[in-house]
Amino acid sequence: MADQERGRRWPDGGRSGEALLKAMLDAAEVVAGVVELLDDDYRIVVANRSASDLYSLPVGGLDGLTGRQQGLTEPQVAARLATLNAVWAAQESRSGEYSFRFPTGREGWFFGTYSPLPGPTPLVAFVILDITARREAQLQVEHQGARLALALNVTGLGLWDFDFMADRVDWDARTRQLFGVGGDEPIDFATYAAAV
C-alpha cells in the first residue's frame, strides 16, 4: 500500500532518514544535532532550528561551522572537545548539566545528552534542554531556605503547621523544645492550646 493511501505525508526530501530526522528535530523544543570531531575542534554537521536560534543564526546557519567559527572561546572549545572525545572514546552516551555563555552574551544552564553514532567517522549526536528557568528557581529556593534558616537561628524560633481537617499540629524539634512538648508525642489542637 502506498504511503499516500495510508494518509502519510513525508517532508520534502522523501523518506530519507536525514529528512525525517531533520523534520522531527525542527518540530521539537530541544536543541539537537550532530557534530563531527576534528583534531583540535569540532564541526556541526547538522543542527536544528532551536540550535540556530541560540546563536541568533538563521535555520541551518550552524551547519558546517566549527566551534571557533561559532565564536566560542578557546576554553569553551576545549571543554566541548573533552566531552565529545570522551563520548566517542567510550562509545557510550553521556549526560550532564552545565552553564554556558554564548558569543551573543546570553548565559544559561543546559542539560545535554551526547551519544556516539555508529561508523568509522567520529560523529556525536546531541540533544540539549535549556534548564535556565528551572535552575534559577532552584537557586531562589536555596536562597530563601538560607534566609529562613538564618531568621530561625537568630530568633531561636521554630516552624510549625496546623492541619485543621486532620486536627494535627506539626512542630519541628525547636518548636517542640520551646513549648516543652516531647519529640514523639502527637500534637492535636488541645495539646497546642494548652502549650501556647
Query: Residue 137 and residue 131: Cα distance in Å, rounded?
Result: 10
pLDDT tens by residue, 137-153: 998 999 998 998 888 88
In this prediction, residue 191 carries a pLDDT of 75
Q: pTM for the whole thing?
A: 0.66
Residue 186 pLDDT exceeds 80: no
Name the band, by pLDDT with cuts 50, 70 and 90, for residue 109.
very high
The separation between CA 149 and the C-alpha centre of its own chain, rounded to angstroms, equals: 28
Question: How far is the first Cα of the chain from the last one, in angstroms, to the nearest whole number?
Answer: 79
In this prediction, residue 43 carries a pLDDT of 96
- Provide the residue ranges of all domains of the chain, joining segments of one domain with +: 17-134, 153-196
Residue 7 pLDDT exceeds 50: no
- Closest C-alpha among 91, 43, 96 to residue 34: 43
Class in CATH terms, 17-134: alpha beta
Cell numbers for 158: 521554630
Instruction: State which H helix or E strand residue 101 sits in.
Output: strand 94-101
Q: 97 CB contacts (<8 Å, ≥6 apart)? A: 109, 110, 111, 131, 135
pLDDT tens by residue, 151-173: 888 887 777 777 888 878 788 88
**Rounded mean pLDDT of 45-65?**
90
